[in-house]
Amino acid sequence: MRQELAQLGGGAHALAIQLLGNADDAADAVHDAFETALSRPDAYDAAKGPLKPWFLRVVRNRCFDMLRRRRDSDVPVDSLIDSCATPDEALDTAQRACAINQALARIATEKREIVVLRDYLDLSYAEIADVLRIAPGTVMSRLHRARLALKEALNTDGK
């Protein structure tokens, strides 16, 4: 299980960054999720489904715990978002990535997470349903609405 979890680290970190908007907090959330998974190996039941959706649910729950604490401490979430462009990226790619990240940051968390799970982490609808604990048919309608919201957020930038 330890090796399988290690392979999920990158995707889990990407999800956490999108939910928390901060690489350091995301790393903390993923680390805590790893600790939880490794300290309680009996928490995962292979008969109930694959490890990936289960672990991403653990990461997601940890992120929401951190967001609740942030809200309680009145720290504005927008002030914690990292810069999206890096010096070594080509200008066009950096601008596009930055526009997408900014648009993602402006849409609701539940819409952002479903886009990240599908389009960044390439989870199937069934796996997304498992992570979010919703019906598989609901995934399609929520994903559609989330993509529309993302498109609208991108268009408000004039791009």
Average pLDDT value for the chain: 83
Q: Which fold has domain 1-82?
A: Rna Polymerase Sigma Factor; Chain: A (1.10.1740)
The two domains 1-82 and 85-159 share their CATH topology (first three levels equal): no
> pLDDT band for position 82 (50/70/90)?
low
> pLDDT band for position 85 (50/70/90)?
very low
Beta-strand (E) ranges in the chain? none
Structure tokens at 77: 């979430």
Q: Which fold has domain 85-159?
A: Arc Repressor Mutant, subunit A (1.10.10)
pLDDT score recorded for residue 11: 87
Domain ranges of the chain: 1-82, 85-159
Contact (Cβ atoms closer than 8 angstroms) between residue 32 and residue 62: yes
Q: With a cut of 60, say whether residue 34 has pLDDT above it.
A: yes
